Amino acid sequence: MTLRLTSAPVAGVKKHKSTPKPRSSPFAAHARRKPSSAAASAVNAAAEDLVDDDPLPDIGGSRFISETAEVQNVVQAIQSIRTKMFDELPQRAGMNSTRIAEVLNLRRSLPPLASVAHVHTLLNAPTQVEREIVELVQTGRVRRLIVPGRGSDAAGLGDCLVLAEDWEDMVRGSAVLDDELKEKFLDILTRIGSSSALSQSVFTPDEYRSLVRAGFLVSSSSYTQASLNVASLPNLPQAVVSSASRRGSAHPSDTDRAVQTDAQARAATLFLSLPNTGTYLRLLGAGRAHLLALLRRSTCNEAPLQLLKDRWNGAVETEKSFHLAKRARGEFAGILPGRTKKWKELYGMQFRWVLEEALGAGLIEIFETGSVGPGIRCL
């Protein structure tokens, strides 16, 4: 086999690769600058707008609540207030089974009350609403529950409404009362009409203790001294008032005897109540206070509605697509609802519900800003 050799590797012929010449940039003639001026100034201007201390623009009062409320009369308003007090439990609540049971049990135990101020907020027709409430109370469709010592103005917590059928259901469903006492108590409720107070002599001592233990009656002696005035008792039966006045006029110059007579009249008076009314009023007061505290975080004690809602709900994760994507990537998507005050102390109280409560109580006002939607201002 012949070996064929060529002269190519021996001749030392080498091919040189041609290197392309660099092209001149069309921006080469322009002066080079640091990436600072325009973009940085825009970011700084936006940051200044976010921390601006100027008040929100106010172009007039807003009817946002009454226009978006899906109620037409007082009965519908009471039913709406009862059912929309709390948000539903989220799928990822961040609470163990014991805490979830505690939240659900408290919600179930609250009485079916609705404050008069809240009803006025939803309907926004004061004269018509008050006339309708009086008619419903007189016809027995609605009962007006007044709790002395909880404030008598709009911001007070002691003026509430409850449907008569809901009251009857609570009485019949009580495990403390026997059937005979239930029928007697319901019959007395029918006969006293719109009154929220009755004489202790109507019941025997055992019946009285059973009704107080069940939460359907409260003695006037359990209230503060500031509210223990016979003249201020709501719809006090005429027999009690006349009896107290006759005994007090026997010795008009004896002040001590008159005071003693008033105390005896108060001791013989019972107020209608519902089980866990105190728990309901304390929770309502705590919700109002928390809303005002969030609103006062702003310099001018006012904030857009959406911003206040975000503060109320807290930086919680949601079921929105970007939060789901963050969770899938293992990134932080917000805290669990169970760690917020809304769920730890207020049992998931709904933002709009407490907003309507505070608005009806005259603690806040709502106005139109013209740019960022409704604004909320602390009064």
pLDDT of residue 196: 81
The mean pLDDT of 61-77, rounded to a whole number, is 92
**pLDDT tens-digit readout, 82-124:** 999 999 998 888 899 999 999 999 999 999 999 999 999 999 8
pLDDT of residue 129: 94
Residue owning tokens 């807290």: 314
Interior angle at CA 246, CA 244 and CA 249, nearest 5: 105
Yes or no: say if 144 and 137 are a contact pair by the CB < 8 Å rule: yes
List the 364-368 sheet strands across, edge first. 302-304, 374-378, 364-368
Yes or no: say if 199 and 268 are a contact pair by the CB < 8 Å rule: yes
The secondary structure of 292-355 as a DSSP string is HHHHTTSTTSEEEHHHHHHHHH-SB--SSHHHHHHHHTT----B-GGGSHHHHTSTTB-HHHHH
For residue 186, give the H/E element and its range. Answer: helix 179-192
The mean pLDDT of 342-361, rounded to a whole number, is 94
**pLDDT tens-digit readout, 278-313:** 899 999 999 999 999 999 998 889 999 999 999 999
Using CA atoms, how far apart are residues 314 and 307, in angstroms rounded to an integer? Answer: 10
For residue 365, give the H/E element and its range. Answer: strand 364-368
**pLDDT tens-digit readout, 155-174:** 567 789 999 999 999 999 99
Yes or no: say if 213 and 176 are a contact pair by the CB < 8 Å rule: yes
pTM of the model: 0.72
Residue owning tokens 């409560």: 357
Query: What's the chain's average pLDDT?
Result: 77
24: pLDDT confidence band, cut at 50, 70 and 90?
low
pLDDT of residue 338: 85
Percent of all residues in the chain with a pLDDT value above 70, rounded to a whole number: 66
Domain regions of the chain by residue span: 288-378
- CA atoms lying within 13 Å on the CB side of residue 57: 6
pLDDT of residue 19: 60
| pLDDT at 134 > cutoff 90 | yes
| pLDDT at 35 > cutoff 50 | no
Using CA atoms, how far apart are residues 152 and 258, in angstroms rounded to an integer? Answer: 26
| pLDDT at 186 > cutoff 90 | yes
**Judging by beta carbons within 10 Å of its beta carbon (0-12, 13-18, 19+), is residue 341 exposed, middle or buried?**
middle
pLDDT of residue 99: 93
pLDDT of residue 299: 85
Yes or no: say if 93 and 336 are a contact pair by the CB < 8 Å rule: yes
181: pLDDT confidence band, cut at 50, 70 and 90?
very high
Yes or no: say if 378 and 296 are a contact pair by the CB < 8 Å rule: yes
